[in-house]
Structure 1
Amino acid sequence: MNIVSLALKRVSGAFGVVAMIFLAFLMFGTTADVITRAVTGEPISGVFEMSELSLVMVVFLGAMWAQEDRAHIRVNMLSTRLSGLPHRVAMAFAWGCGALALFMFAWPATQEAIYSVSIWEFRWGYIQVPIWWAKVGLALGLWLAALQMALHAVLAALRDEPEDTTTGPET
């Protein structure tokens, strides 16, 4: 189990770095595009199209990274009041449901990615932009996030973790 956890941690870290590169493109590319539009009246070709794809990559490659730190939005009114076996069961059930939902999204995303690669899909905007690679990244991110969430479900069933009870920003 530790080997799988370590492997997923390394993959999530790598995916997180890639997601941050796409986020940097969103920040700097959009800023440069706005400045260029203000000065010349014309956009930078391809920035809008790449921004769309970058948003997808930030969300789906960053999902594992967020899960690693339990940074997804969650409601813990019930789980903070539980301890011991009831807490473990509730957490395992919750993480298991999340994993199941991600697996259900990953399957059709994979089918779409396979089709997209088979036709080398692209989209037209100001320029022709290949999008097959983003669909592959989306499917891969979903599968690995689902696997990581399933692992967290198993770990939650095996050992009790203290619940984060912070309700707001730290002061």
Structure 2
Amino acid sequence: MAKAMLEWIVKALEVLASVVLMAMMLLTFVDVVGRYFVGAPIFGATEMISTMLALIIFIGLGIANARDNHIVVELVDSRFRALSPKVYDAIVQGFSILAMCLIVYVLYEQAVEAAHTGAKTVVLEWPLSAITGTVAALAGLSVISQVLGLIVGEGRDSHSASGGNI
């Protein structure tokens, strides 16, 4: 069941990432064409692109956490791993999950505060609580995908200097 759930989450994140990235590319293209050839850029394009960038980062983080495809700097990594691979992996994964949970908590708190204050983006006046809440939800999904990835155990034994199998 964990494997099927993980596969569904990763597939949904991949599709969502594709859609958001395509929208970001099209918006950038149309904005540049409008600015330089027509003299009329898209109002609020920079703010929209910034929002989509935040979404892409946290969508990608969910995929990377599910597959354990993080960048590994192997200056001292191999020495510590050689001492006790299972203890090393438990410490690294535990710290990673703890850090992600902290990120979820901070983003959630910011979303709640933005909702209470009615904070909006500067140009388009979008509610910040919706944007921050969405990013917090994606970060939460990242934690879930990381835990499911650990349960399923795929991609854990094939680390390389590039951060695992891509």
What residue number does 1:45 align with? 43
Q: Distance in 2 between matches of 1:161 and 1:41?
A: 51
Alignment of 1:53-132 (within 5 A): 53-76=51-74, 78-79=77-78, 82=81, 86-118=84-116, 121-125=119-123, 127-132=124-129
* Aligned equivalent of 1:164: 159
How much does 1:79 deviate? 4.4
**Structure 1 residue 149 and structure 2 residue 141: aligned?**
no
Which sections of structure 1, spanning at least 5 residues, go unmatched?
Answer: none
How many Å separate the matches in 2 of 1:11 and 1:152? 11
CA deviation after TM superposition for structure 1 residue 142, in Å: 1.6
How far has the Cα of 1:102 moved from its partner?
0.7
Higher relative contact order (CA 8 A, sep 6+): 2
Per the TM alignment, residue 65 of structure 1 is displaced from its structure 2 partner at its CA by 1.1
Q: TM-score, normalised by structure 1?
A: 0.77
Q: CA offsets per residue over residues 20-62 of structure 1, 9 Å max, x none? A: 2111122111111011100122311132111010001001122
Q: Write the distance in 1 (CA, Å) between the matches of 2:10 and 2:115.
A: 24
Select which of 20, 25, 28 maps to 2:26.
28
Partner secondary structure for residue 141 of structure 1: helix
SS at structure 2 position matched to 1:122: coil
Identity %: 22
In the TM superposition, residue 163 of structure 1 has moved relative to its aligned partner by 2.8
Matched, 1:11 2:9: yes
Aligned length: 162
Q: Deviations over 1:101-120 (max 9, x none)?
A: 11111112112223334555
TM-score between the two structures when normalised by the length of structure 2: 0.79
Cα distance change of structure 1 residues 106 and 81 upon mapping to structure 2, 3 Å threshold:
closer
- CA gap of 1:96–1:109, structure 2 versus 1, over 3 A, is same
Unaligned runs of 5+ in 2: none
1:149/1:69 CA distance change after superposition, 3 Å: closer
